[in-house]
A = this chain, B = another copy of it.
Amino acid sequence: MSSLDTPLDLTLDGGALTARLVDFPSVSGDEQALADAVETALRAYPHLTVDRYGNNVVARTNFGRAERVLIAGHLDTVPIADNVPSHVEGDLLYGCGTSDMKSGVAVQLRLAATLTDANHDLTYVFYDCEEIEAARNGLGHLAKHHPDWLTADFAVLMEPSGAMVEGGCQGTMRAQITLTGTRAHAARSWLGDNAIHHAAEVLGRLAAYEPRRVEIDGLEYREGLNAVRIDGGVAGNVIPDECVVTVNFRFAPDRTEADAEAHIREVFDGYKIDVTDSAPGALPGLGGPAAQAFLAATGGQARAKFGWTDVARFSALGVPAVNYGPGDPNLAHKREEHCSLSAIAEVEDRLRAWLTSS
């Protein structure tokens, strides 16, 4: 009997359940079997209303509480790198997805199965395709087609955060700076105008750039403006007439996308600039009562989230959201990915304490 034929047993402890989920491969685009298993397991609990859209599963309680908390996690992983099935070494569980983020999904499933009563109504969201292009992201599809399923007063995204609360996230914008010149044969270079040489000034501005640090809701954000690509050249004997520098600006959530674009245009004043893609940041949103109670239950400490995460999707829906998960973000996507079993238990305990305190 392969692991795919075994139903998910939500009475296992968090570590054992994580191991079961890791041994159930679900690389982005191939989540259907795991989504089926999650849906089947949750439908066994009468206190949950279960809905499904594609390979996204949403389970909700109807306790009649004043506030609703949403707990979300993605089912998919990056491609397996010879690191499945999982194995345990001491307190560490190794395998693809242990940190990012099947340990978080295991905690979600444990809470969903066992919190038959709570101080908030609860919504558990399991979604697909987080690790690949944004257009396929399951949370994005839910926000578009079933926004009512995502209604909540506060959301916890169980992305790996080392069992620390990470508030908000920074925005990201990519832009291309295009330098132009005049093509000529390299043997008669004075007849041309070298576009690559014009990039000296652009790269000089980047090298001299001093990124801003800013504190928001007590969390310190650190911005960054970097060239992530440079391309120029026609042939080994031609003075090139074009060079393109692609920059990536990571901006603190007190800037809107429009602010970010204006900043890029100011830094590279005088150059041709095309913004190619961007995603807004999300403010930490730690001011509300649910968030304050959550912070207290999880130890009272929060730090800024630098990378862009799906908390920004909740922010766009008007739902304050944080990252809080047992995985180690520094191990995500690595062959040696692993997760601390005690962190899985700790995160489950703290969430349970928060959601059951009177």
Contacts and interface: CB of A to CB of B under 8 A. Distances in A.
Contacts of A204: 200, 204
B200 A203 contact: yes
A227 B240 contact: yes
A150 B229 CA distance: 49
B187 A227 contact: no
B174 A226 contact: no
A314 to B, nearest CB: 18
28 contacts: A170-B187, A174-B236, A186-B224, A186-B248, A187-B307, A188-B307, A189-B211, A189-B224, A190-B222, A194-B207, A196-B226, A196-B227, A197-B203, A199-B199, A200-B200, A200-B203, A200-B204, A200-B206, A200-B207, A227-B232, A227-B240, A228-B233, A228-B234, A228-B235, A228-B237, A228-B238, A230-B230, A230-B243
A197 B206 contact: yes
| 10 tightest Cβ-Cβ pairs between the two chains A and B | A229-B233, A189-B224, A200-B203, A187-B307, A196-B227, A197-B207, A200-B204, A187-B306, A230-B232, A186-B248
Nearest to A248: B186
Interface in A209-259: 211, 222, 224, 226-240, 243, 245-246, 248, 250
Nearest to A223: B189
Contacts of A238: 228
A98 interface: no
How many copies the complex holds: the figure is 2
Chain A at the B interface: mostly helix, strand, loop or mixed?
mixed
A172 interface: yes
B308 A250 contact: no
Interface string A281-309: 00000000000000000000000001110
Nearest to A203: B200
Nearest to A240: B228
A272 interface: no
A207 B306 CA distance: 36
